[in-house]
Every structure is written in structure tokens, then in C-alpha cells.
Amino acid sequence: MSPCAAIVLEPAGVAGWIIVGLISGWLACKLMDAPSYGMGGDLFLGSLGGLLGGALVGIFVAGTPQWWISLLVALIGACLFIGVGRTVAAARNA
């Protein structure tokens, strides 16, 4: 038996992860100062982080997690991706 749970990819869950990521990207674009990849870049990084965070919940949580847990982890993932992306942009521009 595998120590990790199986990933459950339900269309509504994946759409939720993407939406949370897009919202996180938009908020980061509005609230954070430069350096930035612009609104499009932040939205893209946010959606990638939301997808990765939501998928990680599926790996480490057995069964179907509650919706708010998936969305919270997707939000954290989106914020992490945007933060790392902006750190890379700051280092490159320095």
C-alpha cells in the first residue's frame, strides 16, 4: 500500500483551484509593489500555484477532502508561486 493517497481530479475541484489561483494572482498584482510580471504573469503564476497546491491535497489527504481545505491549500500554493516569481524578478533586476 502506498503511503500517499490517490489524487482525485474532479472537474469542479480543478476549476476551483484555478479560480482561487487567478484571484490570488489578481490580488497580488493589486496589493504588492514591484517587481512584478504584470497582471498576466501574476495571473498565470497564481493559477499554476493553485493547481499545484490543490493537487498536493489530493496526494496527502486520503479520500475527498472538504472543499475549503482544497481551496485554502490552493490559495497558499498560488501565493507561494507568486512570491517566488517576484523574488526571482527582483534578483534578476538587481
pLDDT in tens, 34-75: 666 777 887 888 888 878 877 777 777 776 667 677 777 777
Burial class (CB in 10 A: 0-12, 13-18, 19+), 12: exposed
- Say how many domains are in the chain: 1
- Structural domain including 20 reads 14-93
With a pLDDT cut of 70, the percent of the chain lying above it is 77
**Is the pLDDT assigned to residue 22 strictly greater than 80?**
yes
Q: Is residue 1 part of a domain?
A: no
Asked whether the beta carbons of 82 and 33 are under 8 A apart, the reply is no
Instruction: State pTM to two decimals.
Output: 0.71
Q: Is residue 8 part of a domain?
A: no
As a whole number, mean pLDDT of residues 5-32 equals 73
**In-domain check, residue 5:** no
